Structure 1
Amino acid sequence: MKLRLELFVEAPERSLDFYRRVLSFEIQGSASAEYTMLTNGDAVIAINSRSALASDHPLWLETGEKAGLGIEIVLSVADVDDAYRRAKESGWPLSDLAEQPWDLRDFRLIDPDGYYLRVTSRRAS
């Protein structure tokens, strides 16, 4: 089994810029205003236009409502220091890199549509 996240966003171009510039995802195939698949290693996130959803779809939101409530997207990386440095250089707001008591180091950030992300890796032994 593999997991692919499908994020429905207000402005796909803004989300594509965020995931590419801040988290180093790359476009797979062709990009469109309605659907674009991004990858970084084994992580796959598809960016979809929220406007493509029917008004009776369970993920349909009123304008101004926050997407992603109740979900934490965890991205495991080999080198969290490098991921943190690249994300910090992008200028996007993010937390400090922190040591967690469960033997992980991580930082956290929120994407343009309110999806909460944690970027993490095991502490070096």
Structure 2
Amino acid sequence: MPDGSSKWGNFMLRVELFVNDVEVSLSFYRDILGFEVVGENATYRALRLGNSRLALQDIRTLEPDHPLAQPWKRGLGVEIVLEVEEVTTLHQRVQACWAQVTSLKQQVWGLTDFRVTDPDGYYWRITEKRS
């Protein structure tokens, strides 16, 4: 069901990242990856890139007993995948202004991608869209 519908109705996945500094993270996602801000308040930014939704939330807003407020590396064990149409162009843009980026690589499964780590350590695989 490619239109986003399922037996549970229509759906969309949104990822919310808890970050040390919303403005630093916003700069990475907006200025480097190309997300646009679609909502905000003092400690939160809602972002969009095509059909992808991403939220940035200041980690200090979490209650002390919240599981994500614990002092461990954020994003550990998760690879966030973003499919884009112009992976080579985006890679050049990211590589020009961000240190933590891998080379562009054709993978054995046939797609070309690169990996990048954001200011808080969240690990992204940026890949070309499947046809």
Equivalent residue for 2:78?
71
Equivalent residue for 1:61?
70
Native 8 Å contact 1:12 1:33 kept in 2: no
Q: Structure 1: 5+ residue runs without aligned partners?
A: none
Please give the alpha-carbon distance, in whole angstroms, between the structure 2 residues aligned to 1:45 and 1:123: 21
Equivalent residue for 2:3?
none
Equivalent residue for 1:45?
54
> Which residue of 106, 118, 131 corresponds with 1:111?
118
Q: Structure 2 length as normaliser, TM-score?
A: 0.86
What is the Cα-based RMSD across aligned positions, in Å? 1.6
Q: Deviations over 1:3-57 (max 9, x none)?
A: 100000111111001111221111113x333111011111111000000100111
What SS does the corresponding residue of 1:59 show, helix, strand or coil? helix
Runs of 4+ in 1 over 4 A off after TM superposition: none
Native 8 Å contact 1:13 1:33 kept in 2: no
What SS does the corresponding residue of 2:90 show, helix, strand or coil? helix
Native 8 Å contact 1:105 1:122 kept in 2: no
Q: Structure 1 length as normaliser, TM-score?
A: 0.89
1:85 and 2:95 equivalent? no
Q: Structure 2: 5+ residue runs without aligned partners?
A: 1-10
1:89 Cα shift? 2.3
Q: Deviations over 1:39-87 (max 9, x none)?
A: 111111100000010011111122xx31010100000001111111221
Q: Which moved more, 1:66-75 or 1:77-86?
A: 77-86
Question: Which residue type is aligned with residue 86 of structure 1?
Answer: R
Equivalent residue for 1:8?
18
Query: How many residues of Structure 1 are paired with residues of Structure 2 in the alignment?
Result: 121
Percent identity between the two aligned chains: 44
Larger relative contact order, structure 1 or 2 (CA cutoff 8 Å, min sep 6): 1
- The structure-2 alpha-carbon separation of the partners of 1:69 and 1:86, relative to structure 1 and needing over 3 Å to count, comes to same
> Highest Rg: 1 or 2?
2
